Amino acid sequence: MTMALACTLMGCKSASNNDDGMTKVQIETSEGNIIVELYNDTPKHKANFLKLAKDGTYEGTLFHRVIKDFMIQAGDPNSKTATKDQQLGDGDVGYTIPAEFAYPKRFHKRGALAAARQGDQVNPKKESSGCQFYIVTGTVYNDSTLVNMEKRRDYNVLNAAFSQLVMKNREEIVNLQRKGDEKALMAMQDKLLAQAREQVKDVPEFKFTPEQAEAYKSIGGTPHLDGDYTVFGEVVEGMDVVDKIQQVATGPADRPIEDVVIKKVTVLED
């Protein structure tokens, strides 16, 4: 582990971030305290988190979704008064926040603080929840796994272009399917695939940056979320508390059987 990464986990200022004046916030939970630092290059998310902290919005909410070796999620206002068997995760504060992808500088390394959101089908702009957030725990990856992930990202770009072309030619494809014309269908597939490759030919191959690769191989994270969810801060103290929370027993919908409560959120430096 490099000194920069060690500093991130131990709570000292990371030399690689070079972000003087970032704001620290303490999240006091029933399992202990977590201190996060909010990034300056995601200003809308930073301002919103500070507002909710000062307003007391998070006080009494639960970590309602906990998945070991992945993340712990909180911030649903409905969780304040939730019964033991109540499904959580749909609560909000009546607004969303435009995505702020400071990627690849900000990514889903262990300890990253990121905004939850609804899925792409109903949220194509990837706008963030106005209140729900998660902290990454993740797993450690090796070189070969990261290479496979890079290849998968490139495949997904090609597949997305191909799928759009299929939708544009859906009527013709359906007619060929009804006729059972397999030869024509194969020719159509080859044609659309060639068009998709032409469309993405100038898209650079996806590669993890050296900083990302180092982090994912040493401390771990959740790289498959990169570029899809806004990362707006990181844990600088209290990862032991995060790890304690991720170890709790969970029931349906990954909700902890025994409530893990956010008692108070305090702005330490503003």
| CATH number for 25 | 2.40.100.10
* Residue 76 within any structural domain of the chain: yes
* Residue 11 within any structural domain of the chain: yes
* Residue 209 within any structural domain of the chain: no
Q: Indicate whether 95 and 120 sit together in one domain.
A: yes
Q: Indicate whether 128 and 225 sit together in one domain.
A: yes
Give the span between the Cα atoms of 237 and 251, in whole angstroms: 28
Q: Indicate whether 55 and 170 sit together in one domain.
A: no
Q: Look up residue 211 and give its amino acid.
A: E
**Cβ neighbours around 199 below 10 Å, total:** 16
Per-residue pLDDT tens digits of the chain, which is 270 residues long: 333 333 333 333 333 344 557 899 999 999 999 999 999 999 999 999 999 999 999 999 999 999 999 999 999 999 999 999 899 999 999 999 999 999 999 999 999 999 999 999 899 999 999 999 999 999 999 999 999 999 999 999 999 999 999 999 999 999 999 999 999 999 999 999 999 999 999 999 999 999 999 999 999 999 999 999 999 999 999 999 999 999 999 999 999 999 999 999 999 965
Residue with tokens 């996060």: 36
Q: Indicate whether 128 and 8 sit together in one domain.
A: yes
Q: Indicate whether 151 and 241 sit together in one domain.
A: no
149-175 as b/e: b if 16+ CB within 10 A: bbeebeeebbeebbeebeeeeeeebee
* Residue 189 within any structural domain of the chain: yes
Q: Say which residues have a Cβ less than 8 Å from residue 194's Cβ, sequence separation at least 6.
A: none
Q: Indicate whether 92 and 67 sit together in one domain.
A: yes
pLDDT at 20: 59
Cβ burial of 93 (10 Å; 0-12, 13-18, 19+) is middle
* Residue 101 within any structural domain of the chain: yes
pLDDT at 85: 87
* Residue 205 within any structural domain of the chain: no
pLDDT at 236: 97
Q: Indicate whether 50 and 106 sit together in one domain.
A: yes
Give the span between the Cα atoms of 38 and 155, in whole angstroms: 33
How many domains, in total, are found in the chain? 2
pLDDT at 17: 41
Closest CA to 25 of 137, 138, 133, 139: 133
Q: Indicate whether 156 and 118 sit together in one domain.
A: no
Give the span between the Cα atoms of 103 and 115, in whole angstroms: 14
Which residue range is the domain that position 236 belongs to?
3-140+219-267
* Residue 210 within any structural domain of the chain: no
* Residue 211 within any structural domain of the chain: no
Q: Indicate whether 169 and 234 sit together in one domain.
A: no
Residue 35 dihedral angles phi and psi, to the nearest 5°: -110, 125
Q: Does this model's pTM top 0.95?
A: no
Radius of gyration of the chain (CA): 21
